[in-house]
Structure 1
Amino acid sequence: MSDTNGTILVVGAAGHHAGLVVPMLAERGARVRGFVRSTERGELALQRGASEYAIGDLRDPASVEAALRGVSGVYYIAPVYPHDESQKVGRSFVEAAANAGVRRFVFSSVIHPMITALDNHIQKIPVEEAIINSGMDFTILHPCHFYQNILRNWRSIVETHVFTEPFSADKRLSWVDYRDVAEVGAIALTGDALRNASFDLCADFGRDRHEVVGVMSEVLGYPVTAGESNAEEYLAGLPLPDDGYTRGALARMYDYYDKHGLVGNPLMLKTVLGREPRTMHQFFRDVLAGTPTVAHP
């Protein structure tokens, strides 16, 4: 049951991550409707290959209902750290999609959502359960850390030759290029092979920060060192919402990484793509070459 003849709603179609799904769907002949926050963002979605866009907010039921009208498939990735993802944002959106007659739902979740110490992981479980129980065909993606997240620190890395994070440089994290995650999502929405399943998506078994800066040094052509900072000081320098939730959730996340790291397995991503996943070397080379690695810089 391919959805290339129907309309696919991409939530956050002008964003850094979901925006990468749009051209991959368009290349496969799908008609894409972007769900965006403004006309300006809608124009960005059109530039990426969307055929149309709907303006709204996940917390506004009327705009969600309008955006889902006539849609056969959905690509959903939640906003960053919503405190109410497991209820108002996520589960309500799943329910609205099912009520609208959506046939196929792809959720970009997170690797190992069962980790109760991580707010942004445990909040995914009720959403995943709602999707599985919805009656829609589903594909749940469990990606690990995105290479794209490093770009938040890229200017500092280039200027200081130091890559700093607020947890032990010895702890290993698995990484993935969100372009590969987006490709898996496009495959799931335009074919039948990935229906009704969950997939861990990693490009490697994990790297500590010393290994990451080793890759940076090779690609940049000069030594980059691994820095480590206090989580409180690190968070103080971030433009975070003053919502009483986000800062605490991030602090708990860094504390978890400092104790345990977070690793996964690359076999599933390689199998689904039918090729080797993009490597960290390739990602940094693309950044230097100016190749788009996010939907919109």
Structure 2
Amino acid sequence: MSVSKPTILVTGATGQIGGDTLRRLQADDACTLVAAVRSPDKAQPFEAQGIRTVILDFDKEETLAPALQGINRALLVTGYTVDMLRQSKAFLDQAKEAGVQHIVHLGACGRDDTTVAHWAWHQLVERYIEWSGFSSTHLRPETFMQNLLSYGGTQVVKQGVIQQFTGDARLSWVDAEDVALAAAQALLHPEQHAGRTYRLGYDAKSYGEIAAIMQQELSQPFRYEALPPEIFLENMRAAGAEMAYMSCVYDHYKRYAAHTIPGADDTFDNFPGITGQQPVRWAEFVQKHRTAFAY
């Protein structure tokens, strides 16, 4: 007897992780893909590639149930606001009602006992997924290497100077494209990845060490300038970001700099087991994005 292909819904399809995951899944004809978009305008690029779209707006609860009809598995990617808690709950309640079986949740960094606020919010969502009875895979990426390309619409590396807010702390890093690769595997093979929490971080470096790698790889001077986290707060306010969330980010920058986040530089060896590949590390990332960093 033939087993019908699973239908996979990707939320955040116009964003980085969602978009990359969608591209990974496109290469596999074992599934039927559905991209969640907020408006008909955003649907056009996907429709042009023959990818089915549904309108799903986390802030319009009436869009959730129709978008989830006929979906077997879903990637849950929420926005950078405190509303992610309410949005995730509403999405998951409707997903349960619609008969979705497997949820892959894009969470945040941290050990299970983290007290960094926005990381802890994601862990509460993980628990709600489990309590709701879904088969699930939790992804906890450490800091995205892409944050060095831009953060909140701001260019981070200008003329060889990295301006950031974490003092001399070492952070654990992951290439967002590797996170998408892990997400795609968890969506395609839930039987292998159900019940797993994957912390995704593969290269522990301070910004000073990253500047040294950039200098070596690009044969140009690079240096790190540690700024007070208060500047970040003002930048985000000026950019119109949601400040309840960004205040948490500000707070965790201060904690990084003070070396009071346990496991901030934890790294893991799970990537080959999840994907069959080696993760990207800093030297490779710098080479891959050399046009963005060189000056």
Q: TM-score interval w.r.t. the shorter chain?
A: 0.7 to 0.9
Aligned pairs for 1:180-199 (under 5 A) are 180-191=178-189, 192-199=191-198
Q: Is the 8 A contact 2:58 2:91 kept in 1?
A: yes
Matches within 5 A, 1:152-191: 152=150, 155=155, 157=157, 159-168=158-167, 170-191=168-189
Distance 1:178 1:50 in 2: 25
Task: Tell me the distance in 1 between the aligned counterparts of 2:239 and 2:155.
Answer: 19
In the alignment, what sits opposite 2:41? 40
Give TM-score, length-normalised by structure 1: 0.87
Asked if 1:22 corresponds to 2:13, the answer is no
CA change 1:174–1:44 in 2 (3 A) is: farther
Give the CA deviation at 1:289.
Answer: 5.9
Which residue of 2 is the match for residue 145 of structure 1? 143
May I ask how many residue pairs the two structures share in their alignment? Answer: 282
Q: Label 1:285 to 1:137 Cα distance change in 2 as closer, same or farther (>3 A).
A: same
- What RMSD over aligned residues (CA atoms) do the two structures have, in Å? 2.2
1:131 & 1:272 partners in 2: Cα distance? 21
Query: Displaced runs of 4+ in structure 1, greater than 6 A?
Result: none
Measured in 1, the distance between the counterparts of 2:267 and 2:243 equals 34
Name the SS of the counterpart of 2:109 in structure 1: coil
For each residue in 1:167-203, what CA deviation from the matched residue of structure 2 results, as whole angstroms up to 9, or x when unmatched?
21x2110000111111111111111211121111112
Counterpart pick for 2:279 among 268, 271, 277: 277
Contact kept? 2:165, 2:228, Cα under 8 Å: yes
Question: Cα gap change, 1:46/1:164 in structure 2, threshold over 3 Å: closer, same or farther?
Answer: farther
- Equivalent residue letter for 1:166: F
Deviation at 1:113, TM superposition (A): 5.7
Pick closer, same or farther for the CA change 1:222–1:115 going to 2, 3 Å: farther
Contact 1:176/1:201 (CA < 8 Å) preserved in 2? yes
Which runs of 5 or more structure 1 residues have no equivalent in the other structure? 291-297
Contact 2:145 2:174 in 1 (8 A): yes
The one-letter amino acid paired with 2:240 is P
Are residues 1:31 and 2:32 paired? yes
Question: Amino acid of the residue matched to residue 15 of structure 2?
Answer: G
Judging changes above 3 Å, is the alpha-carbon distance between structure 1 residues 202 and 50 closer, same or farther for their aligned structure 2 residues? farther
Check conservation: 1:98, 1:134, Cα contact below 8 A: yes
Give the direction of change, closer, same or farther, for the CA distance of 1:28–1:241 in structure 2 (3 Å limit).
Answer: same
Task: Give the 3-state SS of the residue equivalent to 1:71 in structure 2.
Answer: coil
- What SS does the aligned partner of 1:189 have? helix
Looking at structure 1, the residues matched to 270 and 201 of structure 2 have their Cα atoms a distance apart, in angstroms, of: 8
- Residue identity over aligned pairs, in percent, reads 23
Q: Structure 1 pair 127/156, CA: closer, same or farther in 2 (3 Å)?
A: closer
Unmatched segments (≥5 aa) in structure 2: none
Find the aligned partners of 1:107 and 1:229 in 2 and give their Cα distance.
33
- Give, in whole Å, the separation in 1 of the partners of 2:221 and 2:99: 54
Q: Do 2:156 and 2:164's aligned partners in 1 also have CA atoms closer than 8 Å?
A: no
1:124-135 mapped onto 2 (5 Å cutoff): 124-135=122-133
| 2:250 corresponding residue in structure 1 | 251
Which residue in 1 is equivalent to 2:71? 71
Contact 2:107 2:123 in 1 (8 A): no
